[in-house]
Structure 1
Amino acid sequence: MTVNHSAPRTTHSEGRALPRSTRSLLLAGAFAGPLFYLSAIVQMLTRPGFDLRIHPLSQLSTGDLGWIQILTFVLVGLGLSCLSIGHRRVATSGPGRAAIPVLVAISGLGFIAAGVFPQDPANGFPLGVADGPVAEPTWHALVHMAAAIVAFTALAVAAIIALVRAIRERRVAAAVGDGIVAIALLAPVIPDIASIQVAITGLFAFGWCTMTAISLLKSPTVPR
């Protein structure tokens, strides 16, 4: 998922080069999404019985190897938390300078919670589990679903604010990208293709985070 997302404009008077710590934070944010999908793809190819047409990626958190996906969720959440700090340091002026970092941080916490509170086994995965959905979700599965909804919604709102910022700064390509991401994240889930749709939605969400981090890394100075 590639979004043309130009860097938010900052005031460069009396600025200085991005500190190493800020660059490290933004790099962590940039790699969060690729890490998630690299981990998911490897698991989908190596864990018997998993079928993305039936099983959501969150279900990789179940079974003996579920700790891999749990760790992936937590690392991604930490990466987005780093992005929020880096964004706050670099984009110190203009619309969304305070709101976007907060929303990205909320999303990061949501993904951490989604890892700590895993989904239920269901629909024959992991192997040995009965076919069909869970009759009654466990409390931790409900927390997982709520956390995921909060995480994606926070990023959708962040994209909308970034859209407003881009429009005010007359950055057409960035505005189009932000708008597409916001629509993708807010689109209603279609039950028959829910697992595939959510996986694609994640591509938009993490793609936006990665491109935002990259654009901020290109900022030559940090306003003083």
Structure 2
Amino acid sequence: MTTRTAPAVHAGRRHLLLAGALAGPFFFASSITQALVREGFDITRHPLSLLATGDHGRLQVLTFVLAGLGALALAVGCRRVLADGIGRLAVPVLVAVFGAGLVVAGLFPMDPENGFPAGTPDGPVARMSWHSVVHSAAAAVAFTALAVAAIVLAVRCARERRVRAAVLSGVAALVLVLPMSPEFMSIQIAVNGVVAFSWTTVVALSLRAAA
């Protein structure tokens, strides 16, 4: 029985890690497509989260949820592959927090503002709704958790003398913890998303190769 189930366990790990690797490319393929076709969207003024508002907002909600589920799959894959060493427990938990945060952020969209969706008054909202507060809090927790995961993995890689991997994880963490600039916030959020999902994709593919 052991010899028959081992290949299935091996395949299960690889499938989980593949889902984690695809989460980032899927998120940005969907978001960029929507940003290009949605009337009035301007990445210099509107964070990608605003795509979850308006008549077609459900597509971005689904994008957040599916990307979050992909990150949760990565967390399970990490738990199964990282059998020992630094971060074997912390990294899967922190990546799971990131995934859960994306799901929550998708299900509780932010308020329309700054002229988007089309017809919305220009300028920020006077008072955030409760679901916008939940969205912002979930996103903050998610990206903070991923930054900590990157730091832990950087330490693990440094201990294993994998210098390039350690440096890349360290740089990713540094970018994710930089303070937000009010003037360039929407662009910075997009950059953080690129860095976060690039990191999860690289980690997923590296672990999949090792699995």
Q: TM-score, normalised by structure 1?
A: 0.90
What are structure 2's unaligned runs of at least 5 residues?
1-5
Say yes or no: does 1:33 pair with 2:24.
yes
Report the Cα offset of residue 80 of structure 1.
Answer: 0.4
SS of the residue corresponding to residue 210 of structure 2 reads coil
Report the Cα offset of residue 169 of structure 1.
Answer: 0.6
Q: Deviations over 1:50-106 (max 9, x none)?
A: 000001100000000000000000001100000000011111011000110000001
Report the Cα offset of residue 20 of structure 1.
Answer: 1.4
2: CA distance, partners of 1:16 / 1:136: 54
RMSD: 1.2
1: CA distance, partners of 2:49 / 2:166: 31
Q: Number of aligned residue pairs: give it.
A: 206
2:138 to 143, 147, 168: 147
1: CA distance, partners of 2:144 / 2:39: 32
Query: 1:78 corresponds to which residue?
Result: 69
Say yes or no: does 1:202 pair with 2:198.
no
What are structure 1's unaligned runs of at least 5 residues?
1-14
1: CA distance, partners of 2:54 / 2:79: 38
Query: 2:168 corresponds to which residue?
Result: 177
AA partner of residue 195 (structure 1): S
Query: 1:216 corresponds to which residue?
Result: 207
Say yes or no: does 1:56 pair with 2:28.
no
Structure with greater helix share of residues? 2
Looking at both structures, which has the greater relative contact order when contacts are Cα pairs under 8 Å and sequence separation is at least 6?
Answer: 1
SS of the residue corresponding to residue 41 of structure 2 reads coil
2:116 to 122, 125, 137: 125
Query: 2:3 corresponds to which residue?
Result: none
Q: TM-score, normalised by structure 2?
A: 0.95
Query: 1:45 corresponds to which residue?
Result: 36
SS of the residue corresponding to residue 120 of structure 1 reads coil
Query: 2:58 corresponds to which residue?
Result: 67
Report the Cα offset of residue 22 of structure 1.
Answer: 1.1
Identity %: 56
Say yes or no: does 1:97 pair with 2:88.
yes
SS of the residue corresponding to residue 27 of structure 1 reads helix
Report the Cα offset of residue 16 of structure 1.
Answer: 7.3
